């Protein structure tokens, strides 16, 4: 049985929670699913202070002691993950953003490969389409296989027409997600994902060293030499384009290092 965990960034039990419950019920109709809803409003999550210790030394050095690791463990134990948020001023809610920031180091060292991700946005009027795209992009950066999310719209009190619209959108979304859960866990990456991997790892290889946790992680995983994050057969086009991305990133990093040296000398000169 597939396990799905949904993280909801609304402190109210209204539109977003309702859409998530409907989504999980519709998903269950497609096949047996074991699910859990986690209300981020009930979790203890600190606000990231930007020290970057998680990037540079390791996540265990984070000064915040909160529910971060317990929530990550829930994702690790799941086959499918949903991030759901209300639209607040054309963005995710603060609850959802705090959660995403706590996962920042997983953006540097992605780990949720083989798992399926999607997003749900609840809103009163408009602007949620871009939030869905943002959340789906976050899911991809964390390593998930992403199924396009959806946005539901309703004012309070909800009209019958709005309720029907939500039902249709969510039923379609649940079917899409169910198909996603059945797809191969380790697909051939899109060119965009391949580009992200190659540019990132080449930059890291040139600009960082063993003192840095990201560097050590990539070295341990063999990601400085591998075709992609996980073992996958790339066709000729992806192999060629992949090595082109490596070369472009290497040149940009070397130029950047040279420029940074000059800038540092100039900066010191102006201030001494
Ligand atoms: C601070 C705040 C900002 C909001 N900004 C937007 C917005 O930019 N666009 C929109 O369509 N709805 C906006 N809304 C309306 C919410 O998206 C809407 O009330 C939604 O139902 C909230 O989700 P919930 O019912 O799960 O709490 C905003 C609501 C609040 C409280």
Q: Do 175 and 209 belong to one domain? A: no
Query: Does residue 166 sit in the same domain as residue 231?
Result: no
Taking the CA atoms of residue 138, residue 143, residue 147 and residue 152 in that order, the dihedral angle to the nearest 10 degrees is: -30
The pair of three-digit structure tokens given for residue 7, joined into one six-digit string: 């993280």
Contacts of 228 (CB under 8 A, 6+ apart): 189, 193, 194, 197, 234
Q: Using the mean position of ligand 1's atoms as its centre, give its distance from the Cα of residue 163 in Å.
A: 17
What residues make up the domain containing 153?
A: 2-182
- Confidence (pLDDT) at 268: 64
Q: Which atom of ligand 1 is nearest to the CA of 125?
A: 11
Atom of ligand 1 nearest to the CA of 126: 11
CA distance 67 to 83: 16
- The residue whose C-alpha atom lies closest to atom 11 belonging to ligand 1 is 125
- Torsion angle in degrees (nearest 10) through CA of 15, 91, 81, 189: 140
Tokens of residue 13, six digits:
């039990």
Are residues 43 and 81 both part of a single domain? yes
The protein residue whose alpha carbon is closest to atom 3 in ligand 1 is: 88
Which of 39, 40, 87 to mutate for ligand 1's pocket (most ligand atoms within 8 Å of CB)? 87
From residue 142, alpha-carbon distances to 95, 105, 117 in Å are 18, 9, 10
Contact between 135 and 106 under an 8 Å Cβ cutoff? The reply is: no
CB 100 within 8 A of CB 130: no
pLDDT for position 227: 97
DSSP assignment string, the chain: -EEEEEEE--SSSSHHHHHHHHHHHHHHHHS-EEEEEEEGGGS--PPP----HHHHT-GGG-S--SSHHHHHHHHHT-SEEEEEEE-BTTB--HHHHHHHHHTHHHHHS---TT-EEEEEEEESSS-HHHHHHHHHHHHHHTTPEE---EEEE--SSPPHHHHHHHHHHHHHHHHHHHHHHHS-SSPPPPHHHHHHHHHHHHHHHHH--TTSHHHHHHHHHTTTTSSSSS-----HHHHHHHHHHHHHHHHHHHHHHHHHHHHHHHHHHHH-
Structure tokens at 151: 């946005």
> Is the domain of 171 the same as that of 221?
no
90 and 218 together in one domain: no
> Ligand 1: which atom is nearest the Cα of residue 87?
17
Question: Residue 11 CA: which ligand 1 atom is closest?
Answer: 27
| pTM metric for this prediction | 0.95
User: Ligand 1 centroid vs 152 CA: distance in angstroms?
Assistant: 11
Which of ligand 1's atoms lies nearest the C-alpha of 154? Answer: 21
Are 57 and 178 in a shared domain? yes
158-168 pLDDT tens trace:
999 999 999 99
CATH number at residue 90: 3.40.50.360
Per-residue model confidence (pLDDT) at position 135: 98
5-25 per-position pLDDT tens digit: 999 999 999 999 999 999 999
Which pLDDT score is estimated for 263? Answer: 80
Ramachandran bin of 46, using left for φ above 0, alpha for ψ from -120 to 50, beta for the remaining angles: beta
Provide the pLDDT for residue 260.
84
177 plus 195 within the same structural domain = no
**Of all protein residues, whose CA lies closest to atom 4 belonging to ligand 1?**
88
For residue 248, the CA-to-ligand 1 centroid distance in Å is 42
Atom of ligand 1 nearest to the CA of 18: 26
Q: Do 111 and 34 share a structural domain?
A: yes
Q: Which of 10, 124, 129, 165 to mutate to test the pocket of ligand 1 (most atoms within 8 A of CB)?
A: 124
How many angstroms separate the alpha carbon of residue 15 from the centre of ligand 1? 9
Contact 149, 120 (CB under 8 A): yes
CA of 138 to the centre of ligand 1 (A): 21
Spell out, as residue ranges, where the chain has pLDDT lower than 70. Answer: 267-272
Interval between CA 16 and ligand 1 midpoint (Å): 10
On whether both 6 and 79 belong to a single domain, the answer is yes
Cα–Cα distance measured from residue 233 to residue 161, given in angstroms and rounded to the nearest whole number: 48
Same domain, 7 and 104: yes
Beta bridge partners of 82: 6, 118
Ligand 1 is surrounded, with C-beta below 6 A, by 10, 12, 14-17, 86-90, 122-127
């Amino acid at each position: 049985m597939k396990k799905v965990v949904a993280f909801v960034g609304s402190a109210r039990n209204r539109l977003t929670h309702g859409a998530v419950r409907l989504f999980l019920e519709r998903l269950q109709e497609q096949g047996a699913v074991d699910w859990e809803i986690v209300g981020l409003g009930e979790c203890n999550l600190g606000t990231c202070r930007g020290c970057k210790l998680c990037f540079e030394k390791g996540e265990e050095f984070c000064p915040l002691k909160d529910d971060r690791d317990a929530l990550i463990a829930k994702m690790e134990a799941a086959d499918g993950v949903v991030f759901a948020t209300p639209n607040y001023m054309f963005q995710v809610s603060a609850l959802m953003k705090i959660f995403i920031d706590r996962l920042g180091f997983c953006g540097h060292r992605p780990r949720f490969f083989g798992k399926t991700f999607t997003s749900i946005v609840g809103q009163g009027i408009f602007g949620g389409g871009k939030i869905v795209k943002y959340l789906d992009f976050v899911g991809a950066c964390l390593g998930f296989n992403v199924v396009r999310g959806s946005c539901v719209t309703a004012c309070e009190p909800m009209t019958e027409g709005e309720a029907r619209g939500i039902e249709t959108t969510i039923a379609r979304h649940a079917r899409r997600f169910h198909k996603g859960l059945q797809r191969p866990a380790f697909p051939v990456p899109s060119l965009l994902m391949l580009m992200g991997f190659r540019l990132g790892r080449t930059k890291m290889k040139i600009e960082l060293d063993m003192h840095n946790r990201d560097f050590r992680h990539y070295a341990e995983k063999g990601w400085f030499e591998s075709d992609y994050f996980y073992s996958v057969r790339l066709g000729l086009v992806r192999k060629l384009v992949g090595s082109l991305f490596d070369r472009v990133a290497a040149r940009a990093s070397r130029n950047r290092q040279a420029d940074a040296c000059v800038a540092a000398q100039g900066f010191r000169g102006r201030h001494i």
